[in-house]
Amino acid sequence: MYKKKPFFITFEGVEGCGKSYQSKKLFRFLKKKKISSILTREPGGTKSAEMIRNLILKDYFNKSSKDKFDKYTDTLLYLAARNEHMKNKILPSLKKKMVVICDRFIDSTLAYQVYGKKINQNFVNNIHKLILNGLKPNLTFVLKVSSKSSKKRLLKRKTKNRYDNFSKSFYSTVQKSFIKIAKGKKNYFVLDSSKDDNLLEKKIFDITSKYLNIK
C-alpha cells in the first residue's frame, strides 16, 4: 500500500542514453497511479535556473575557445542553477511529500566536471555541502548506452545539444565515471539502455514500485 512520502529519484547518463525519455515515462506511470509527483531537470527546472542553462548551452556552441567560459566558471554556473532549483523547486516539492523525478543531478557534475574536465572535487563538494543541505536521491537510475545507439538517437534529435562538441573518448570517460559512482551503492541501478524496447521502462517501473510500495 502506497503511503505518501517525500521521495527523490534521479536519472543519470551520457547524452543519447534515453534518460529524459525514461524519466517522462516514469512520471506518466506515477501519474496513472495517482501519486503526487513532479518531473524536473538539470541544469534548469525553474525560470532562473533555465536562464542559466541557456547561458551554459550557448557557450558550448562558441566556435573559438578564447570566447568560452573557463571550466571553473562553467562549473559554478551549473552549481548556481542547482542552488536555484533546490531552493525553489526540489525542496518545496519534497516538503509537500511529493515524488520528485529529476533528469540529471549531482552525479552529472561529478562525471562531467570532476572526472571529465578535471575540476577539483573538494571545490564541488564544499559548494554542495552548502546548497544541498544533506539531500541525496533515494533512488538513482544510471543508464548506460553503446556509442552506436547513442549516436543513432542523437541524429534523430531536432535540436542540437552539447554532444556535438565533445569527443567520443570524453563520453567514454564520463560513462565509466557514472558506473564508478554507482558501484557498491544499494539505491543505484545501472541499466543498459542500448535497445529500443519497453523492457527497460518495465524494469524502472518495477524497481520504483518496490521502493514506493506501489501495488
- Per-residue pLDDT of the chain (215 residues), as tens digits, is 788 999 999 999 998 888 999 999 999 999 999 999 999 999 999 999 999 999 998 877 676 667 788 999 999 999 999 999 999 999 999 999 999 999 999 999 999 999 999 999 999 999 999 999 899 999 999 999 876 766 666 666 666 666 556 677 888 899 999 999 999 999 999 999 888 788 999 999 999 999 999 98
Helix (H, G, I), strand (E, B) or coil at 210: helix
Q: What grid cell was written down for 63?
A: 566556435
Q: What is the pLDDT of residue 15?
A: 85
CA angle 171, 80, 138 (to 5 degrees): 70
Residue 1 confidence (pLDDT) = 74
Interhelix angle for 71-85 vs 47-60, to 10°?
160
The 8-class DSSP code of residue 115 comes to I
State pTM to two decimals.
0.92
Q: State phi, psi for 111 to the nearest 5 degrees.
A: -70, -45
Q: Please give the radius of gyration of the chain, using alpha carbons only, rounded to the nearest integer.
A: 17
**Interval 101-141: pLDDT, tens:** 999 999 999 999 999 999 999 999 999 999 998 999 999 99
* Strands in 16-80 per DSSP E: 37-41
Query: Phi and psi at residue 190, in whole multiples of 5°?
Result: -95, 115
Q: What is the dihedral of CA 103, 177, 168, 113, to 10 degrees?
A: 70
Residue ranges and CATH numbers for the domains of the chain are 7-212 (3.40.50.300)
Distances (CA, A) of 210 to 32, 47, 95, 108, 168: 16, 33, 22, 25, 36
* Residue bearing cell 539505491: 187
For the stretch 180-191, pLDDT in tens is 999 999 999 999
d(CA 23, CA 181): 20
How large is the angle between the packed helices 71-85 and 121-132, nearest 10 degrees? Answer: 20
Could you tell me the three cell numbers for 197? 524496447
The pLDDT score that the predictor gives to residue 171 is: 83
Distance CA 26, CA 13 (A): 16
